[in-house]
Structure 1
Amino acid sequence: MVAGKPEPAVPRQAGQGVLWRRARAVLDAMEHLVGGLGTALLAFVAMAWVTVVALLCVVGVGLLLTPSLPRAVRAVAARERARLSRWGPEIIGPGRAPPRVRDALADTGLRRELFWVFEHGTVGLFFSAAAITMPVAAAQDITYPLWWRFLPPGDREPTGVFWSVRDEATALPVTLIGLGLAAAFVLFGPVLARLQAWPGRRLLAPTSDTDLSLRVAQLSATRAAALDAHATELRRIERSLHDGAQNRLVGVTVLLGATRRAFDRDPAAALAMLDRAQDAAEQALAELRTVVRGILPPVLNDRGLTGALAGLAANCGVPCEVDVDVPGRCAASVEATAYFVTAEALTNVSRHSRARHALVTVRRQGAQLRLRIEDDGVGGADARGGSGIAGIRSRIEAHDGRLTLTSPPGGPTTLEVELPCGS
Structure 2
Amino acid sequence: MSWLRARVRVLVGALEHLAGGLGTAALAFGVLLWALVVALASPAGVGLPLAHPALRGLRAVADRERARLTRWGPAVLAPGPVPGGLRAAIQDPFVRRELAWLPLHGLLGFLVGVFGLALPLYAVQDLTFPLWYRFVDPDQGRPSFVLWRVDSLADALWVAVLGLGWLVATVAAVPLLARVQAAPGRRLLSPPPGIDLSLRVAELTATRAAALDAHAVELRRIERSLHDGTQNRLVAVTVLLGAARRARQRDPARADEILGQAQDAAEQALGELRTVVRGILPPVLDDRGLSGALDGLAASCAVPCRVVVDVSVRCAASVEATAYFVVAEALTNVVKHSGASEVTVAVRRERERLVVVVDDDGRGGADEARGSGLTGIRRRVEAFDGRLTLTSPPGGPTRMWVELPCGS
**Range of TM-score over shorter length:** 0.7 to 0.9
| Structure 1 residue matching 2:183: 3-state secondary structure | helix
Give the gaps of 5 or more residues in structure 2: 300-304
Which residue does the alignment assign to 2:293?
312
Matches within 5 A, 1:20-419: 21=9, 24-25=12-13, 27-46=15-34, 48-49=36-37, 53=40, 60-61=43-44, 63-86=45-68, 88=71, 89=75, 91-100=77-86, 102-142=87-127, 144=129, 146=132, 150-151=136-137, 153=139, 155-156=140-141, 158-297=143-282, 303=286, 307-316=288-297, 317=299, 318=305, 320=307, 322=309, 324-326=311-313, 330=316, 335-346=317-328, 348-349=330-331, 352=335, 358-361=345-348, 370-374=353-357, 378=361, 382=366, 384=368, 388-399=373-384, 401-405=385-389, 409-410=396-397, 414-419=401-406
Give the gaps of 5 or more residues in structure 1: 1-10
Residue 157 of structure 1 contacts residue 165 of structure 1 at CA under 8 Å; is this kept in 2? Answer: yes
Residue 355 of structure 1 contacts residue 375 of structure 1 at CA under 8 Å; is this kept in 2? Answer: no
Q: Distance in 1 between matches of 2:236 and 2:296?
A: 33
After TM superposition, the score normalised by the length of structure 2 is 0.77
After TM superposition, the score normalised by the length of structure 1 is 0.74
Which residue does the alignment assign to 1:5?
none
Question: CA deviation digits over 1:250-305, x for unaligned, max 9?
Answer: 211221232233222211111111121122123223322332343345567xx4xx
Question: CA deviation digits over 1:110-134, x for unaligned, max 9?
Answer: 2211111222233223323322333
Residue 322 of structure 1 contacts residue 359 of structure 1 at CA under 8 Å; is this kept in 2? Answer: yes
Q: How many residues are paired up?
A: 387
Residue 86 of structure 1 contacts residue 406 of structure 1 at CA under 8 Å; is this kept in 2? Answer: no
Look up the equivalent residue of 1:246 and give its one-letter code. Answer: Q
Identical-residue share of aligned pairs (%) = 39
Look up the equivalent residue of 2:63 and give its one-letter code. Answer: R
| Structure 2 residue matching 1:206: 3-state secondary structure | coil
| Structure 2 residue matching 1:415: 3-state secondary structure | strand
Look up the equivalent residue of 1:315 and give its one-letter code. Answer: G
Q: Distance in 1 between matches of 2:349 and 2:136?
A: 54
Q: How far apart are residue 183 of structure 1 and its match?
A: 4.4
- CA distance 1:182–1:76, shift in 2 (3 Å): farther
Q: How far apart are residue 221 of structure 1 and its match?
A: 1.8
Q: After the TM superposition, which of the residue ranges 351-360 and 134-143 deviates more from structure 2?
A: 351-360
